[in-house]
Structure 1
Amino acid sequence: MPAKSIMPNRREVIATTVALGAVSVLPSALKTAAADTSIRKFSPNFPQHQLHDLRNRVRATRWPDKETVAGDTQGVQLATIQKLAAYWASDYDWSPMQARLDSLPHFITGIDGLDIHFIHVRSKHKDALPLIVTHGWPGSIIEQLKIIEPLTDPTAHGGSASDAFHLVIPSLPGYGFSGKPTAPGWTPTRIARAWAELMQGLGYTKYVAQGGDWGNAVTETMALQQPPGLLGIHTNMAATVPAEISKALAAGTPPPASLTPDERRAWNQLDDFYKNGLGYAIEMNNRPQTLYGIADSPVGLAAWMLDHDIRSYEMIARVFDGQTEGLTRDDILDNVTLYWLTNTAISSARLYWDNAHFPAGGFFDPRGIQIPVAVSAFPDEIYQAPQSWAEKAYPKLIHYNRLPKGGHFAAWEQPATFSAELRASFKTLRESI
């Protein structure tokens, strides 16, 4: 079904809503299917009893036996999750994140029958470039909070006025504060159309898009759809794996002898992920509704989210061992707590089921994008895309950089580097406007 058109007076609705001061809406009060296409101001508040219940549930966790191996090959280790739980139950405080969320302009609008939440921060610099940034799983809008100031106010963060962006940061359907679909079909293809409609409705006639994880699938699909005004995209989890490489990995054959060192490293990373890191995706692809345990147990939810990819897990384990990394203990628990408070463990998982049942190609398969693309390749991503593969996948590659540090949650882990990458990536597109 094609998306409904957005009312042409949306910008006036924003101005009026902000001026009048809209009434706060609790996340639990959001409609799952909305026909109201106006833009409404939104305050993401939670009752205190939900936070007390969360802490009590963490304290009441029934623990399994310790893993029977020395390493993490059986999954999230008992010592790691118990350290997380002890901090969550006794020392963690949601209120700083609540204050951070309160400081930002949130909105809700109906697109294609569903309430879509988004943060919309306009730069003070008049020539700022509009940018829509999309998170993935097990991420959320919390992934992007650290890049808001550097991108919208670059002069205060080592940049110039010509580096400024207007930022739009939506929550995926079924995630965070967006509505939860009540019927299947909210695939990256449908979300991409919704995002284009959102940008059009906000009055942005020329803009760029960015994403990683599911955000990359949505962003690359937007590039394929070529909606009016989309100038180019940036990805930190590029889909560049050549068909012959995918086939060889699937068949379990040895890597081709012709691979360069960068390509061989990417092969090794992908081979490890396909063999050892896809358990969560297989379950969510096939049986997301079965995951009642992660909707009922906060610790179960945290463990499920921590086990996304091995390098992210290893980093998080080090954090709870007291080491300093790109993320803090509070960062990690802010994100898990948001999933818990919004009760989106299963609604977010259904994106995997939808994508598997309405397929549009493999996750890392080149899509044939014909508009400008920028790639930031972080070393601890699921795989660090080689420049040779990126050049073949994106005929209009305008930026490629192989970064020395950072992983799957790049904007969250390395916000200064990530912000610098976006400034460099879209510089030539700014000049062409």
Structure 2
Amino acid sequence: MGTDTAAVTDIRPFTVEVPGADLDDLRERLGRTRRPRELPGQGWDRGAPLPFLRGLAEYWRTGFDWRRRERELNALPQFTADIGGQTVHFAHVRSPEPDATPLLLNHGWPNSLVEFLPLIGHLTDPRAHGADPARAFHVVVPSAPGFGFSAAPSATGWSVARTAGLWARLMRALGYERYGVQGGDLGAYVAPAVAEADPDRVTGVYITAGIGFPTEADVPGMTPDELAHYERMRQWSTGGLDHHALLRRGPQTFDYGWADSPVALLGWMAHKFQEFHVSQGVFTDVIDRDLFLANVSLYWFTRTAGTSSWPMYDTEDSPWPAGQRHVPTGVYSGPPGIRRLAELRNDVVHWPEHNPGRHHFVTMESPGPYAADLRAFFAEVG
């Protein structure tokens, strides 16, 4: 298939520098929040519980240190570039190991570059983490269009395939003739699309989880165990807040609240991170509170809660990721997908069943085990 020939131009260093006035404004808005009445129900039955969100908002106002997270972001070499008229932001962290494997990381929704802050060091400098330095990676982490510091699509019709085409051209511009691709959540759609856009240069696609999900079309050929699994999946997918439906129909309406009220944004993000929590308790039990707030803050300062909604509002339905057959595929954790179904559309060579993980955004929770399994997959595919 090959990549688009449009040039990558104007690559320039980028530094995160949130003005002090924006920090003061955030704290002032948090301090005068007009809170709603609490609705009847238990726990998260009606959404983010008032006591939980009140405490989290107060910590965001008085305890969270954005400048510390800003320094952590700026410790990564960051850049912006123009690719076919689209301005994109990315981090490019080269390993101290000269023969490291190039790797493209694709974040999810509603997440950002922050998703990979705990992981990058494990990948670029495995020696420092007690792992084999021969399995190091040069890491490229772009911000998807409309997310963080990447420009938003200026018109409707943006797609995962267009995003994948940008990343294929970016990797070529950075001088990488062969590279691996990773992705989870939104990245589980983008990563296979990069392989479709650039099959001659991608060595393998590694997905956190997200292929082999059963659908109605698969029902006639399912075994009893698979049918039971399908029913559990249906209950899970219909029991939460359907952000696909909401953002397909009204992202501009909701964005008035997200852009104007930090607590509205915080409540939305907390609700989704809680739904993406797959064990008992609260998501902040497994994901560092400051890391979560760094992601929320990035959305707040860049006003990208609405612009990052294009994966929903530019689609008419919400199919599960199908994957691709151009290059080998591996996953960090097979369930809740079914391997037999995944293999109908993918060359699956790596499908562990019991890797640790209690949250959808597992790189924020278990970066060490995740890095180890990712290294194992790319050791298999070369």
Native 8 Å contact 1:224 1:370 kept in 2: yes
Q: Measure the CA separation in 2 of the matches of 1:128 and 1:407.
A: 29
Q: Measure the CA separation in 1 of the matches of 2:176 and 2:280.
A: 38
Stretch deviating more after TM superposition (364-373 or 93-102) = 364-373
Stretch deviating more after TM superposition (75-84 or 43-52) = 75-84
Match for residue 306 of structure 1 among 270, 274, 278: 270
Native 8 Å contact 1:266 1:385 kept in 2: no
> How far apart are residue 127 of structure 1 and its match?
1.5
> How far apart are residue 226 of structure 1 and its match?
3.8
**Which residue is equivalent to 2:330?**
374
Native 8 Å contact 1:316 1:327 kept in 2: no
Native 8 Å contact 1:41 1:107 kept in 2: yes
Matched, 1:273 2:252: no
Deviation per CA, 1:156-210: give whole Å up to 9, x if none.
1121121110000000100111112211222101001111011011110000100
> How far apart are residue 93 of structure 1 and its match?
1.2
Q: Measure the CA separation in 2 of the matches of 1:368 and 1:203.
A: 24
Q: Measure the CA separation in 2 of the matches of 1:267 and 1:245.
A: 14
Q: Measure the CA separation in 1 of the matches of 2:126 and 2:191.
A: 24
Change in CA separation of 1:365 and 1:216 when aligned onto 2, cut-off 3 Å: closer
Q: How many residues align?
A: 378
Q: Measure the CA separation in 2 of the matches of 1:104 and 1:159.
A: 21
Stretch deviating more after TM superposition (365-374 or 217-226) = 365-374
Helix, strand or coil at the partner of 2:90: strand
Native 8 Å contact 1:277 1:309 kept in 2: no
Native 8 Å contact 1:306 1:313 kept in 2: no
Matched, 1:401 2:352: yes
Match for residue 155 of structure 1 among 100, 115, 127: 127
Q: Measure the CA separation in 2 of the matches of 1:157 and 1:139.
A: 25
> How far apart are residue 315 of structure 1 and its match?
7.0
Counterpart code for 1:195: W
Counterpart code for 1:198: L
**Which residue is equivalent to 2:343?**
391
Helix, strand or coil at the partner of 1:419: helix
Deviation per CA, 1:312-339: give whole Å up to 9, x if none.
358797366xxxx331211111110110
Matched, 1:297 2:261: yes
**Which residue is equivalent to 1:342?**
302
Counterpart code for 2:150: S
Change in CA separation of 1:186 and 1:112 when aligned onto 2, cut-off 3 Å: farther
Native 8 Å contact 2:212 2:339 kept in 1: no
Change in CA separation of 1:238 and 1:274 when aligned onto 2, cut-off 3 Å: closer
TM-score, normalising length: structure 2: 0.92
Native 8 Å contact 1:266 1:384 kept in 2: no
> How far apart are residue 76 of structure 1 and its match?
1.4
Helix, strand or coil at the partner of 1:127: coil
Q: Measure the CA separation in 2 of the matches of 1:247 and 1:63.
A: 46
Q: Measure the CA separation in 2 of the matches of 1:50 and 1:309.
A: 25
**Which residue is equivalent to 1:422?**
374
**Which residue is equivalent to 1:10?**
none
Counterpart code for 1:159: A
Change in CA separation of 1:179 and 1:123 when aligned onto 2, cut-off 3 Å: same
Matched, 1:5 2:9: no
Helix, strand or coil at the partner of 1:38: strand
**Which residue is equivalent to 1:134?**
106
**Which residue is equivalent to 2:27?**
55
TM-score, normalising length: structure 1: 0.81
Match for residue 331 of structure 1 among 269, 278, 291: 291
Native 8 Å contact 1:196 1:227 kept in 2: no
Native 8 Å contact 2:81 2:88 kept in 1: yes
> How far apart are residue 214 of structure 1 and its match?
0.8
Q: Measure the CA separation in 2 of the matches of 1:55 and 1:314.
A: 32
Native 8 Å contact 2:69 2:294 kept in 1: yes
Counterpart code for 1:332: F
Counterpart code for 2:152: K
Counterpart code for 2:136: A
> How far apart are residue 136 of structure 1 and its match?
1.3
Deviation per CA, 1:195-236: give whole Å up to 9, x if none.
101101111000010001111111111223344311110001
> What RMSD in Å do the two structures reach over aligned CA positions?
2.4
Q: Measure the CA separation in 2 of the matches of 1:233 and 1:257.
A: 28
Change in CA separation of 1:224 and 1:385 when aligned onto 2, cut-off 3 Å: same
Helix, strand or coil at the partner of 1:71: coil
Change in CA separation of 1:334 and 1:246 when aligned onto 2, cut-off 3 Å: farther
Helix, strand or coil at the partner of 2:332: strand
**Which residue is equivalent to 1:209?**
181
Change in CA separation of 1:317 and 1:45 when aligned onto 2, cut-off 3 Å: farther
> How far apart are residue 289 of structure 1 and its match?
1.0
Q: Measure the CA separation in 2 of the matches of 1:306 and 1:208.
A: 32
> How far apart are residue 267 of structure 1 and its match?
4.1
Q: Measure the CA separation in 1 of the matches of 2:348 and 2:262.
A: 42
Q: Measure the CA separation in 1 of the matches of 2:26 and 2:219.
A: 45
Counterpart code for 2:352: N
Unaligned runs of 5+ in 1: 8-36, 249-254
Native 8 Å contact 2:277 2:283 kept in 1: no
Q: Calculate percent identity across the aligned residue pairs.
A: 35
Deviation per CA, 1:3-35: give whole Å up to 9, x if none.
55225xxxxxxxxxxxxxxxxxxxxxxxxxxxx
Q: Measure the CA separation in 2 of the matches of 1:259 and 1:392.
A: 18
Q: Measure the CA separation in 1 of the matches of 2:153 and 2:322.
A: 28
Stretch deviating more after TM superposition (281-290 or 125-134) = 281-290
Helix, strand or coil at the partner of 2:320: coil
**Which residue is equivalent to 1:17?**
none
More contact order relative to length (CA 8 Å, sep ≥ 6):
2
Counterpart code for 1:349: S
Counterpart code for 2:325: I
Q: Measure the CA separation in 2 of the matches of 1:398 and 1:73.
A: 40
Matched, 1:100 2:63: no
**Which residue is equivalent to 1:258?**
224
